[in-house]
Amino acid sequence: MRIVIVGGVAAGMSAASRALRHDPKAEVVVFERGEWISYGACGLPYVLGGDVEDWQALVARTPAQMRSRGVGVRLGHEVTGVDAGAAQITVLDRATGRTTTEPYDRLLLATGVSAILPDWARTDLAGVHVLRDIPDGQAIEKSLAGAKRVCIVGGGYIGIELAEAFRARGLSVVMLEKAEFVAGRVLDAEYRGRVQAELERNGVEVRLGVSVEGLTGKAGRVTGVQTDAGLVRADLVIVAIGVKPNVELAKAAGVRLGKTGAVAVNAAQQTSVAGIYAAGDNCQSLHRVTRRQVHVPLGLTANRMGRVAGVNMAGGSAKFLGIVGTGIFKVFGLGAARTGLTQAEAEALGLHAASVDVSSTDHAGYYHDASPIHVRLTAEKGTGRLLGAQLVGCRESIKRVDVVAALLHGRGNVQDLAETDLAYAPPFSSVWDVLLVAADRLG
Ligand code: FAD
């Protein structure tokens, strides 16, 4: 059994490890076009901000460690074609420029996503960057030398995490966002407002409703961002306006894409073409609350899809049952989290949703260092079926979102949450935790 994997980060490496664990006799080969494998891309902003010591710290397993476990790792090898009929791929060795073909019994496409780069950003001006992988991070690090003012285009979670990193490095930061709010559409307006206020409280200049038209430069280096509201001076520009799934190989192989534009897979991570699997950010997944296919490229999903694909490619039987749209990010002293649907999302889907907002403290008010926490709980009117939750509060406190996520997986209702036996002691929560209060009010 020859298992060939394209892409060596979260999904690809999880699949490689699981496949070998399931069938130690299988030959598993990973082709990665870059020079890094098996690392936590989620940690990239924290290396730039100085919270994590260096890039190497993000690496879970080095190529040497993977090879010692029996995984064939080919770095600097880009897969340029798939011939599903002949069950072989074409591989370009970037160092030598040589192209070869490689046979497979099972093929996994774990190719991730790419940053969306609008025309105005397609420039060879120095100081213009995206952040997707370690080399991107290293390039930003290099550009930081001598930089004083950074302009982040895009107010999504990566832009927000980077804003904090650059403020920690002493830079002046301006964030440009086309929409009238930051934090994408992942939170309802009130909760996005809290995120924006925290950015501004920490010195990030947030400009909303601004469209970028171009970049200005001098002597080969960026000097500013031209917008419909004037010129924003900057000596470093980050483009963080979204991502698109890397589906070129899937298309070449005749694999069906979903309505989201990402690869369509079944619960076994099989694509529409026999012998070809897909996992990770390049795939869509089932949203268990809406029963619709969605494209939500996040780390746990990628790792989990990879594991499932690995087991199945090696002859086992595993299923990926879907997601409930859980996400979390840090913004200076706060955290923001969501799971399920926001009120706005539920309404857009035509659901009869009701939400309740509760503001309290993360633990008993009489115990020191109690901090504010804000929770919105959303449920279906009439049935009480839980639809989602949003939380903004001090960092650790918002992991409460996981309680609601677990209930959403089981299609729980408000009553289930209200009756859940949550942990209580004054340093950790109030006796009636903010989630229980919200469930009680909504029930
Ligand atoms: P990727 O990590 O994108 O890996 C795909 C690999 O495939 C790449 O190395 C690429 O070079 C390789 N490849 C592509 N095409 C080819 C080819 N033709 N031939 C050979 N190799 C190829 N998620 C969270 O859940 N929480 C977070 O806090 C979070 N923070 C993030 C912060 C940042 C800055 C970024 C960039 C991502 C963050 N994510 C976060 C998302 C998370 O990192 C991804 O979901 C995860 O890395 C996806 O793994 P993957 O293996 O599917 O794809």
- The predicted complex's ipTM stands at 0.99
How far, in Å, CA of 400 to CA of 386, rounded? 15
Percent of the chain with pLDDT over 70: 100
CA of 76 to the centre of ligand 1 (A): 16
In the reported structure, the alpha carbon of residue 135 is separated from the centroid of ligand 1 by a whole-number distance in angstroms of 13
Q: Is residue 112 lining ligand 1, measured as CB closer than 6 Å?
A: yes
Q: Quote the pTM value.
A: 0.97
Report the distance separating Cα 63 and Cα 141, nearest Å: 24
Could you tell me how many residues make up the chain? 443
Whether 71 shows a pLDDT value over 90: the answer reads: yes
Q: How confident is the model at residue 185 (pLDDT cuts 50, 70, 90)?
A: confident
- Tell me what pLDDT residue 127 has: 97
Query: What does the pLDDT average to over 211-220?
Result: 96
Atom of ligand 1 nearest to the CA of 297: 45
The pLDDT > 90 percentage for the chain reads 98
Give the Å distance between the CA of 155 and the centre of ligand 1.
20
pLDDT of residue 7: 98
Residue of the CA atom closest to atom 6 of ligand 1: 7
Residue 335: strand, helix, or coil? strand
DSSP 385-398: BEEEEEEEEETGGG
**In the structure, what pLDDT confidence band is assigned to residue 299 with cuts at 50, 70 and 90?**
very high
- The response to whether residue 40 sits with its C-beta less than 6 Å from ligand 1 reads no
Q: Residue 443: what pLDDT?
A: 87
Does residue 12 have its Cβ closer than 6 Å to ligand 1? yes
How is residue 89 written in tokens? 């791929």
Q: What is the mean pLDDT of residues 320-348?
A: 97
Residue 122: pLDDT band by 50, 70, 90 thresholds?
confident
Torsional sign, CA 53, 44, 37, 144: negative
pLDDT on residue 395:
83
For 343-396, what is each residue's pLDDT tens digit? 999 999 999 999 999 999 999 999 999 999 999 999 999 999 999 999 999 988
CB atoms inside a 10 Å sphere around CB 29: 18
Q: What is the pLDDT of residue 348?
A: 96
Cα of 373 from ligand 1 centre, angstroms: 31
- Is the pLDDT reported for residue 184 higher than 90? no
Give strand pairing partners of 129.
238
Give yes or no: 42 in active site. Answer: yes
List the catalytic residue out of 42, 151, 283, 394. 42
SS3 130: coil
Instruction: Give the strand order in the sheet containing 212-218.
Output: 212-218, 221-227, 230-233
How far the first Cα of the chain sits from its last, in Å, is: 54
Q: Is the pLDDT of residue 320 over 90?
A: yes
Instruction: Examine the pLDDT at 285 and tell me if it is beyond 90.
Output: yes
Q: Is the CB of 297 under 6 A from ligand 1?
A: yes
Whether the CB of 363 sits within 6 Å of ligand 1: no
Asked if pLDDT for residue 104 goes beyond 90, the answer is yes
Lowest mean pLDDT, pick from 120-129, 259-268, 328-337, 380-389: 120-129
**Could you identify the atom of ligand 1 that is nearest to the CA of residue 31?**
20
- Please identify which residue in the block is written with the tokens 């909504």: 442
Mean pLDDT of the chain: 97
Tell which phi-psi region holds residue 111, choosing left (phi > 0), alpha (psi between -120 and 50) or beta: alpha
CB-ligand 1 contact for 6 (6 Å cutoff): yes
